Structure 1
Amino acid sequence: MFKSGKALLAVFAVAATAITGCGSDSGAGNPNELRLWHYEGPDSAMGKAWDEAIKEFEQAHPGVKVKFEEKGFEQIQKSAQMVLNSDEAPDIMEYNKGNATAGLLSKQGLLTDISSEVTKRGWDKLLSPSLQTTCKYDERGVMGGDKWFGVPNYAEYTMVYYNKNLFDQHGVAIPKTFAELVSAMDKFKAAGVTPLAMGGKEYPAQQLLYQLALSRADNEWVQNLQQYKGKVDFHDAAWTYGATTFADWVRKGYIAKDSAGIDAEGMGLAFMKGQFPMMVSGSWWYGRVQSTVKDFEWGSFLFPGSDLALGSSGNLWVVPEKSKNKDLAYDFIDITMKKANQTLLGNSGGIPVAADPSAITDPKSKELIENYQTLVDRDGLAYYPDWPAPGYYDVLVSATQKLINGTASPGQMLDEIAGPYDDNLANIGG
């Protein structure tokens, strides 16, 4: 998330940690400093695992310092091209995957082709084919290509988080079907409770709309949209259903109209404070909810009535082409792929890509990973709606905000997102 994600917390784990190390590439930078950017909070699963990876890196590389610089997801989203095309580029960074982000930067020559390193270190053996899709890009910057430009050490998907106390208080059963989900929201609304926490200012609203469309779509529809394998009609049955249902949920009060001005962080905080019964968002919140929520019982379930859900590999470790210490960057990535670090990530509320399943002992973490495996087994990971075109994230934010505040109809909203997609397809010769 978007992670997406992300999605992602707009916070850096900020530190200047003395780290051990020897080795660097032939660049002209400081061989005793590794500049690392990532935007995961220190209480997230990834933040915890990567902090431990820094400590292990310290033991293996005497004399090297890791330098963190505070950045946010949105900031990197908007400034990556400029920064990576300058001498200010970090040595290694977490970056969003997909055509519009990692794909675009690979096409522009701003990311290192790490294909030989992936094979040498065996990272390709640790990642399933579906996870590899978001790591590899072709000359157009379209995912699923032949060159590796990034490596994820976790996976992610979206789900419904729910407040068990509020469900019990209002006599609402945990929904197993889409009809039961709607019935649950009706009961909450009748009791004066807005059912869904929402953030229309950033990714959450567009992801819910995409999830609604996915409930009427199939894998061919996803491949056509994401990998340009066939014609995309933004007024087809799936897109029309997603937009009209989303607008209907706003009209019925399932989604608050003031959520157009709320960001992802505000949405998550409101859910964790017990103000909403449900939140539809990604596994990147899981570790934080797990460590933060103390005042009520909570759980999660896959979005009912859909074989498909937003999800993919997690964000990528990428090595900028202008990285001064590429060898150190590869060493750090390697540590995050080792079983010990993967197990820590899994027991902290993340979804590891290379852990021993029997080593995941935390009950909630096991539930998270089992639901992810259910999606993988039915080939249900459908990526994210902002991936297909550069700048598409902002297009989708604006369009879904208009659905929330009522300044555009579903048809107008779909027209708004169709134009930039078609323009991008023409630009790459699709």
Structure 2
Amino acid sequence: MSGPREDGAVDVERDRYRYLAEVTESLTQSLDTGTAADQLARLVVPRLADWATVTVLAGDGAPGSSARAHRDPERLVDVDTYLAGRITAPRDTEAVAMVMHSGEPVHLRGIEPDLGPESLPEGPVRAAWERLDPRSSLFVPLQARGTAFGVLSLVRCGDRPPAGPDDVALAVEVARRGALALDNARLYGRQLRVAETLQHSLLTPPSQPPGLQVAVRYRPAVSQDLVGGDWYDAFDRPDGATVLVIGDVAGHGVEAAAAMAQLRSAVRTLAYDSPDGPAGTLDRVDRVLAGLHVGTLATALVGHLLPRADGAPGSLLRWSSAGHLPPLVLGTDDRVRLLETPPERLLGADELAVRSDHETVLCPGETLVLVTDGLVEVGRRGIDEGLAAAADALSGLAALSPDALCDRLLTRVLPERTDDDVAVLAVRVLGA
């Protein structure tokens, strides 16, 4: 039969495992470095410290980040005042250097309550230090995959005794789990920066042919999925047609951005000097994707804007859609019409079939608007509901320039944070 001491030890171990499980679960909720650092700082107070800071060093082009927490939220102002105003902290600097070099924790069991002016200026900074009343510090490395990239600093204040061996061991385990989450967030952030840089480098300014005003917008998502494979394009062909393209590659991240680069290049090259119409271009792209085993699946819409054959004002729009959203046309009377056509297969689909061209006339003053599904499916709307919302948002914008129209459309439809990236291409047909 177990005694009280054994039962107490079991309870302590159970509590430790529960705490570590909470740390792990909390830190895996975010792939943002700043958010993860802030969460780690909050998790260690008050259990391991009265006040904690998390410092993640910059590297490989990734921005550094820091976070802090205090068991008493009202003391955070003092923490911020001290951290921003201290001149030097020789012992802290030496301890951090030792931690980063050795990968082992460093424990300062005593901190002088009255630091000299070489470490702490007089005035608000010293007053904040005195109110914080730090008495001991434990510096624990944040390291993952064999590299130390930050430090978890745990400060105990007032009458609280320095950390004992069990607390030091627990702090090391918490830092190990925190470091893995932070490193995953750092790696994810780098991947997303690469994807976004690639995406923006490919989304070049559109041409501005005579008789047309062209505006484009691209807004990356800011959720964990972030950058995807949305793209737009607008360029002139030697025969005088203006080619308009909008598309969306399946997937997110670097892979989607790279696939978008291949597909955008293929569409642009095959559409530039070919006598084919939009449907013919999409057919040729399909053959290229199949023949080269690219394995990309995407929606796309290719349109040609041409002078009207009878010489009348306006432009002829000829377009073909590979499973993409239908074009919207904003009239001079602020009414919006949807150019719906029978659905046709996506680019890269295994089943091949003949694609169709469609035609309509755009009168002077009318604006053609092409969008990707991030605009219409925001808030988990269905496509029909989302298209109706986009049409409502466009209504009343006919007097604006295409640039201002794009901005107003995004403001009206999208929240500040979106789960998908969005591309918009707007073309105004000018008068004769």
Q: Aligning the two structures, in what range does the TM-score lie when normalised by the shorter sequence?
A: under 0.3
TM-score (norm 2): 0.21
Q: Which has the higher contact order (CA 8 A, sep 6+)?
A: 1
Which one has the bigger strand percentage? 2
Which one has the bigger helix percentage? 1
TM-score (norm 1): 0.21
Bigger radius of gyration among the two:
2
